[in-house]
A = this chain, B = another copy of it.
């Protein structure tokens, strides 16, 4: 973002924009009032810039909170976190060029992981876009054309987002912007993907008909069934197969958590059928892991012993909210035959070889619950294969190993905890854990952009606050990743959040050391005195925050024991680990190269 605005028509500071009580409103106000009506939207993220200040002024006529980020990438990650927690919109506002581009990696991550981010970019006023202003030919924040004789292209950034958004619209026509806004929000909920609004500076003040606010419900989150007959047919086919099956299983994947109430519906389905149930790597925590029939996390060849064998021995697998990708499938090591599998995806349903396009699994799931005849449901046979960890304790040169930490972490995590886990080696230990009831686990398990978790957790924390949750927010962070986005740690204090942070200090990019360059300096990071973060970022005194260096098991036990269930202060633990220490799964993924010979 940039400060230098030279738009001649811009008003001076804190102008009060008069709004009539009639059915007309300035579009900026209309926009925020509409967003306020969207389920679970109470806060807006972003960074101001001269092309969005005019819009931001309208925010103050609503109850929405402004959550300013230290930079746009961080705000993008925070909006993603807000969306993941609320299963609604995470709204991000940035400015032309400098702001929107800085956030692009967060948007791409949201796209790759089905996050409902609405990215609103403030752009120049319509007369500039239409080249009516000669003096704005080469405008600040805008890259000029490579051909120095040509005008700058005001839409150069707009074009860049085509493949990382489900929809993008330049809202430059006051006659259609109300409908345009609706279309963008609808598309975001329909696809669970980021969408873009490019808003010219002058359009924030353009008067629009506001009658929609009172007449048309903002029920974007509902998944309409466009093919009820197909849904009916699919339901019957699935139920027939279910009733015939002898050893059926349920596999829950991440997209369940992205569509309306699918998580609740699926949990109900699990309770009703009592089928053995599993989650994927990315689907972790969608199911109730205290359910007696919850088996564990199925990740193909990267599963724990027995999980793969039991899952693949099922004669029918109901795979809900499937997201088939490299990481989530244990590098494409899921091993099912077509006959075994029912794929229930937001875009299609696949029953054996039969393919139904355009049907969302949520509608099928609702229908299954309505039509299920519990008396016909087969009784689960006992699991054929014993489940056990592959490598429960991997040795480490440091006093604490990640293996030990994971074991203790399992009992540390309490019901209703919200865990945000950074991309890194620890993430690959999480599938070994069983969570207590209503734990929510958030991680970027496919796109894997390090630095995401810290700002993401500020967004999650804001969402929890907005939903009046008193649950604990736990952030597991790496040292290399934390350096990417560390400034956002101050947002915890600024917005009164009290996360419990575990910073795993393993002196650099451990995951990469395992892959290549164990001793190379490109895998080293700068030395920081992490525990001084509290003084630099103004965490206040001991009443507000507590910092601990954890370098042995006793300190770890103490750290896990000392946190209360309703945290009243921010807690920060720097856990000292060895450079090459990883959970077994990460070694396993990399061809067992560094695993101990025994076990």
Contacts and interface: CB of A to CB of B under 8 A. Distances in A.
Interface of A: 1-6, 8, 10-15, 48-50, 53-54, 56-57, 59-60, 66, 68, 70-71, 73, 97-98, 101-102, 104-105, 108-109, 111-112, 134-144, 146, 148-149, 153, 156, 159-160, 163-164, 166, 191, 193, 324-327, 331-332, 345-348, 357, 423-425, 446-451, 483-487, 490-491, 493-494, 509-530, 532-533, 535-538, 586, 589-591, 593
Given A166-B146, A325-B144, A517-B48, A526 B494 contact: yes
Nearest 9 A-B pairs (CB), nearest first?
A3-B511, A13-B518, A138-B325, A2-B448, A98-B449, A101-B105, A135-B332, A536-B536, A53-B516
B143 A111 contact: yes
Contacts of A522: 48, 53, 56, 59, 66, 68
A245 to B, nearest CB: 26
19 contacts: A5-B515, A6-B589, A14-B519, A53-B516, A56-B520, A57-B517, A71-B451, A71-B483, A71-B484, A98-B108, A98-B449, A102-B104, A104-B105, A112-B143, A141-B447, A141-B449, A143-B164, A146-B166, A528-B537
Contacts of A589: 4, 6
A270 B232 CA distance: 84
Nearest to A518: B13
Nearest to A491: B526
Given A3-B511, A68-B524, A97-B105, 19 more contacts: A2-B511, A4-B448, A6-B331, A6-B589, A6-B590, A50-B512, A53-B522, A54-B516, A56-B522, A71-B483, A97-B449, A108-B143, A148-B347, A156-B163, A484-B487, A487-B487, A490-B527, A493-B526, A529-B538
B140 A14 contact: no
Copies of this chain per assembly: 2
A12 B593 CA distance: 8
Contacts of A447: 2, 97-98, 140-141, 143
Nearest to A515: B5
B13 A514 contact: yes
B73 A73 contact: yes
Given A138-B325, A163-B143, A326-B139, A448 B3 contact: yes
A538 to B, nearest CB: 5
A193 B146 CA distance: 9
B449 A2 contact: yes
Contacts of A112: 142-144
A294 to B, nearest CB: 26
Contacts of A137: 325-326, 332
Contact of A532 (B73, B149, B493, B536): B536
Contacts of A537: 526, 528-529
B53 A515 contact: yes
Contacts of A515: 3, 5, 10, 12-13, 50, 53
Contact of A590 (B5, B109, B529): B5
A532 B348 CA distance: 55
Contacts of A491: 526
B149 A348 contact: yes
A164 B138 CA distance: 15
A111 B141 CA distance: 11
A561 B102 CA distance: 38
A22 B192 CA distance: 55
A536 B533 contact: yes
A166 to B, nearest CB: 6
A520 B332 CA distance: 51
A529 B533 CA distance: 10
Given A138-B324, A331-B6, A490-B528, A516 B483 contact: no
A49 B450 CA distance: 10
Name, among A53, A144, A485, A515, the residue most crowded by chain B CB atoms within 10 Å (CB to CB).
A515
Contacts of A332: 134-135, 137
A277 to B, nearest CB: 24
A518 B53 CA distance: 11
Contacts of A450: 1-3, 98
Contacts of A327: 4, 6, 140
A5 B523 CA distance: 14
Contacts of A523: 48
A41 to B, nearest CB: 18
Contacts of A53: 512, 515-517, 522
Nearest to A485: B71
B326 A140 contact: yes
A536 B538 contact: no
B532 A535 contact: yes
A512 B3 contact: yes
A48 B446 contact: no
Contacts of A519: 13-14
Nearest to A1: B450
Name, among A2, A53, A446, A490, the residue most crowded by chain B CB atoms within 10 Å (CB to CB).
A2
